[in-house]
Amino acid sequence: MTQTPILLATTNPDKQRALRTLLESLPLSPATPEQMGLGSAPDEKGETHLEVACQKATHWSKAGSTLAIASDGGLVLPALGTGWESLYTHRFAGEPDDGLTRVHRLLELMRPYRGEERQASWIEALAIAYQGRVLVSWQLNGAVGVIANDPPEALPETSGFWVFSVWEFPELGKRYNQLSPAELASLDDHWTRLRGLVQRYFRGYFVTPVA
């Protein structure tokens, strides 16, 4: 079966792995920007996660002259009101670029809150583009949990998804990064649902571009 090339539109290794999971078993050949000799990422200027995901997908699809899949997401914290913006989840702590610093800063912000006030959810947008044109896009709200009271015993070796080490689901007694695929599905997880949408699109609607 012919494998259609598709660019994983991110330089973040954690996000690259996550995008690959959406494409498993499809007749596609995923490649990273590094593998294709591409280096520059676009500035994220969109006002919504969907705008940013589409911006990333179109930029990388033009740069690689191919299909590209991109996503953008963020943490939703109702208790913080206008003091928190999901679009800036990755950058809210300022210059430090390590997950542990971000974890401790988030826990400081949430320290005054108790019980249901610590509610947290996730919003994720995904876009697929071809040579600068968006073919399809989605934005989904994820499951509802809480921000844990304590930091994790240790962050993963790579901390691109640092939030998931403190996003807790008391009914399961686990944090997001500890959940099994079955447990994620039981929570109506955003990434699980996006995988279904991507699989359905490529199996039922996508037409292989003509070179």
Q: Are 52 and 122 in contact (CB under 8 A)?
A: no
Q: Which two tokens stand for residue 168?
A: 């807790």
Pairing of strands 119-130, 174-175: unpaired
Question: Which residues neighbour 200 within 8 Å (Cβ) at sequence distance 6 or greater?
Answer: none
Q: Residue count of the chain, please give it.
A: 211
CA of 154: how far to CAs of 8, 11, 28, 159, in Å? 28, 24, 35, 10
Per the residue annotation, which of 14, 43, 72, 97 is the catalytic one?
A: 72
CA–CA separation, 168 vs 148, rounded Å?
Answer: 6
The burial class, CB within 10 Å (0-12 / 13-18 / 19+), for 157 is exposed
* CA 7, 22, 135, 58 torsion-angle sign: negative
Task: Look up 72 and say whether it is catalytic.
Answer: yes
The residues annotated with a catalytic role in the active site are 72
